[in-house]
């Protein structure tokens, strides 16, 4: 099954909340899969911020203070790499739960 | 025009002190502040991502809380990612704050140090004045001793000494009046002050005094395109079918310009030679179908009368130095600015086409004054100034205009603005220390030679081989201005010469109508295009 990406979802409160329907019973597998895609995209956003941080550290500045600043920027860059990894892990876990829900749908009689 | 004899300047032995540009502290501080802004933005974005993840985790949890297949692993991973985002946001925010604060503190420290040094210098001058006051009958002896000490003070360059002396004259004068007056002056110096810089106030005062004395008066400008037969040493026929008519003089002559600092600055030297009260306008073929323009300005050509028909006279210098205060005077226009606009327009410059101004001494003041005048910049797209030996530091040149400012430590003319050149990313000042082989010259001769444009052109030669990052950046700005043709080492141009003449206004009042430049018969209007 193809999981459709929904960009507006990035700024909303969750896929189910924007369907306009009454509160759903349980959880739709498609919504969970879409959540996984959104989380993966957020990881890419963090990657982009990490690249932007790299340009902030690329100054024509030579001094002891400059070295400390570059080191601090490098530490933050590592921190952002951890954030991106955590988001990808979360996306993977959510995707795994979506797969679990899809598997349950496939086993349902009829 | 008679050429100056060769100067005893060895370009290879010339050394430079560079301020401003990409290698300067101010540039670094601006870059650090910009980096702080980018880090701040990153912190904001990461924070938004964290909030988004938290909302989605809450949503997922609310939908699955009562279900047997509760996605504990997924929700926990999302909560962990949200915490990571919050931690990273805080850390980035702290770094942005630290960087911004550090840049600001460094800037404040620089300003405070400069202010403290200025107060100390002023205090010394007051003490010197008081020493003369308290010497009574021996005052002339004390004063002579002070002058001797000043003359033989080898710690500072003559330019810097001149600047310091001019700046501290008021403090010294108050010291001469006694302890009460000097104390009052020093207390006044402790108060936070604002308003025009000392150099501008001095120029305003001089211009007002001369105006009151009737030594200078408002006038109107007449502009004439100078036929090439008048300025060419060997008149050359113009190419093309109309060569016969063109060779009579009204057509532009061409040449090539080297894409170097010397290449562009040498136009100012030519501007002295073509005709009195003139400027040169060069139409540059950038090699990609586009055109750039260089206006070359000479320096002060007429020292007496102070206010004559030549626009390059002392009154003209004062017009430029008080350009931002022009509303205070009967002559409200800077005639050289009008000459520049008329000349560029007549030569065919289109609005928006890039313009470079070069100038020596008074020409440098005028170039900077024009580049600081919003009304001028609204009509002329000035991209770069290359000036030499000019007291132009008080001109608030547009922030996006590159300035390459050549000075020499023995040249006291640039000290007439009473302040150091701006230390900004765009304004690069190269102060030369020349290896003068003529050690027997008297000090006045030395100062005159230091101000010579030929000597500055030799400095330009030396700068063209400099690998200082600020100078390299300015050289890049020159080649970028000249366009792809600069890669070939010689850029083609056509040359036009324009002469401005100042005529006395019949009866101008301070509230009189704005004077427009006239086009002289046989000049621009008659020549047509």
Q: Enter the ipTM.
A: 0.75
Listed range (B119-128, B209-218, B291-300) with the worst mean pLDDT: B119-128
Distance between A19 CA and the closest CA of chain B, angstroms? 13
Which of A14, A65, A92 has its CB closest to that of B59?
A14
Rounded-to-integer distance, Cα B455 and Cα B437, Å: 13
Q: How far is A55 from chain B (nearest CA, A)?
A: 8
Least confident of B56-70, B201-215, B389-403: B56-70
Contact A89 B80 (CB under 8 A): yes
The two three-digit tokens of residue B277, written as one number: 């009260």
pLDDT at B272 over 90: yes
Q: For chain B, what is the radius of gyration of the CA atoms?
A: 29
Residue from B37, B69, B81, B470 to probe the interface with A (highest A Cβ count within 10 Å)? B81
Which residues are CB-contacts of B201 (< 8 A; sequence separation ≥ 6)? B195
DSSP label of B334: -
Q: Residue B18, CB half-sphere, CA atoms under 13 Å: how many?
A: 26
Summarised one tens digit per residue, pLDDT across range B21-46 is 877 777 778 888 888 998 999 999 99
Sign of the alpha-carbon dihedral angle for B131, B132, B134, B140: positive
The rounded radius of gyration (Å) of the Cα atoms in chain A is 20
E strand or H helix at B404, and its extent? strand B402-408
Q: Which of B56, B63, B91 sits opposite A27 (nearest CB)?
A: B63
| B325 contact partners, CB below 8 Å, separation of at least 6 | B196, B200, B204
Instruction: State how far the Cα of B405 lies from the Cα of B52, in Å rounded to an integer.
Output: 53
pLDDT at B439: 63
Q: Of all residues in chain B, what percent carry a pLDDT higher than 70?
A: 86
CB pairs under 8 A between A and B: 134
Average of pLDDT values for B429-444? 78
Determine whether the interchain pair A59/B95 forms a contact, defined as Cβ–Cβ distance below 8 Å.
no
DSSP helix, strand, coil percent of chain A (3-state; round to 5): 75, 0, 25
Question: Are the beta carbons of A53 and B42 separated by less than 8 Å?
Answer: yes
Q: Which residues from A are below 8 Å from B33, CB to CB?
A: none
The pLDDT, as a whole number, for residue B2 is 39
Taking the C-alpha atoms of residue B221 and residue B341, their distance in angstroms, rounded to an integer, is: 12
Between B4 and B129, name the one with better pLDDT: B129
Average pLDDT value for residue range B332-336: 93
Q: Please give the Cα distance from B469 to B21 (Å, whole number).
A: 8
Q: Which helix (H) or strand (E) holds B343?
A: helix B335-347
pLDDT of residue B437: 58
Region B2-16: mean pLDDT is 55
Least confident of A80-84, B169-173, B260-264: B169-173
B271 and B278 in contact (C-beta within 8 Å)?
A: yes
Cβ–Cβ contact B33 with A under 8 A: no
Q: Across the interface, which of B22, B52, B84 has its CB nearest the CB of A86? A: B84
CB-based contact B360:B298 (threshold 8 Å): yes
Percent of chain B with pLDDT over 90: 52
Cβ–Cβ below 8 Å for B35 and A46: no
* Most confident option among A65-69, B171-175, B201-205: B201-205
As to burial, measured by CB atoms within 10 angstroms (0-12 exposed, 13-18 middle, 19+ buried), residue B253 is middle
Q: Say if B64 is an interface residue toward chain A (CB within 8 Å).
A: yes
pLDDT tier at B188 (50, 70, 90 boundaries)?
Answer: confident
* pLDDT less than 70: residues of chain A: 1-27, 60, 106-110
């Amino acid at each position: 099954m193809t999981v459709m990406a929904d960009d507006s979802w990035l700024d909303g409160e969750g896929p189910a909340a924007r369907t306009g329907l009454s509160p759903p019973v349980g959880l739709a597998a498609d919504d969970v899969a879409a959540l996984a895609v959104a989380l993966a995209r957020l990881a890419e956003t963090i990657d982009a911020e990490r690249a932007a941080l790299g340009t902030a550290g690329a100054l024509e500045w030579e001094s002891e203070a400059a070295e400390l600043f570059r080191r601090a920027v490098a530490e933050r860059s590592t921190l952002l790499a951890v954030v991106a990894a955590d988001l990808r892990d979360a996306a993977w876990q959510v995707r795994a739960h979506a797969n679990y829900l899809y598997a349950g749908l496939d086993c349902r009689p009829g | 025009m008679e050429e100056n004899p060769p100067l005893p300047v060895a370009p290879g032995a010339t050394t430079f002190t560079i301020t401003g540009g990409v290698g300067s502290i101010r540039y670094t501080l601006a870059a650090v502040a910009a980096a702080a802004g980018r880090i701040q933005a990153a912190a904001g974005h990461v924070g938004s991502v964290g909030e988004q993840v938290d909302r989605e985790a809450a949503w997922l949890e609310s939908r699955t809380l009562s279900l047997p297949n509760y996605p504990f692993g997924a929700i926990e991973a999302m909560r962990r990612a949200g915490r990571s985002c919050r931690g990273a946001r805080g850390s980035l925010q702290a770094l942005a704050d630290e960087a911004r604060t550090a840049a600001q503190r460094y800037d404040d420290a620089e300003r405070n140090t400069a202010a403290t040094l200025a107060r100390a210098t002023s205090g010394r001058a007051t003490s010197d004045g008081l020493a003369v006051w308290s010497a009574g009958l021996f005052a002339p002896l004390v004063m002579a001793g002070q002058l001797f000490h000043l003359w033989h003070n080898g710690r500072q360059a003559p330019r810097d000494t001149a600047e310091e002396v001019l700046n501290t004259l008021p403090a010294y004068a108050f010291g001469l009046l006694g302890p009460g007056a000097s104390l009052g002056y020093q207390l006044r110096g402790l108060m936070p002050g604002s308003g025009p810089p000392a150099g501008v106030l001095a120029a305003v005062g001089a211009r007002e005094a001369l105006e009151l004395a009737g030594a200078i008066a408002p006038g109107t400008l007449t502009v004439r395109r100078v036929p090439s037969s008048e300025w060419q040493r060997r008149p050359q026929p113009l190419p093309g079918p109309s060569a016969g008519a063109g060779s009579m003089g009204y057509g532009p002559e061409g040449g090539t310009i080297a894409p170097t600092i010397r290449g562009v600055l040498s136009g100012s030297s030519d501007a002295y030679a073509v005709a009195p009260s003139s400027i040169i306008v060069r139409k540059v073929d950038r090699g990609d179908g586009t055109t750039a323009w260089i206006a070359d300005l000479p320096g002060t050509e007429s020292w007496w009368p102070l206010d004559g028909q030549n626009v390059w006279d002392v009154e003209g210098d004062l017009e430029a130095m008080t350009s931002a205060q022009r509303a205070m005077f009967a002559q409200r226009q800077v005639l050289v600015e009008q000459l520049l606009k008329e000349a560029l327009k007549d030569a065919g410059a289109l609005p928006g086409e890039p313009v470079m101004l070069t100038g020596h001494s008074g020409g440098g003041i005028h170039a900077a004054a024009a580049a600081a005048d919003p009304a001028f910049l609204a009509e002329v797209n000035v991209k770069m100034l290359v000036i030499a030996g000019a007291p132009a530091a008080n001109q608030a040149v547009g922030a996006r205009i590159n300035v390459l400012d050549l000075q020499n430590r023995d040249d006291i003319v640039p000290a007439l603005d009473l302040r150091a050149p701006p230390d900004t990313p765009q304004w690069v000042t190269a102060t030369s220390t020349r290896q003068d082989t003529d050690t027997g010259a008297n000090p006045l001769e030395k100062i005159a030679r230091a101000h010579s444009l030929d000597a500055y052109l030799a400095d330009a030669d030396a700068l063209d081989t400099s690998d200082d990052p600020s100078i390299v950046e300015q050289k890049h700005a020159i080649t970028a201005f000249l366009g792809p043709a600069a890669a070939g080492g010689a850029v083609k141009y056509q040359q036009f010469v324009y002469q401005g003449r100042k005529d006395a206004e019949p009866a101008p009042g301070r509230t009189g109508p704005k004077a427009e430049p006239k086009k002289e018969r046989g000049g621009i209007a008659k020549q047509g295009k």
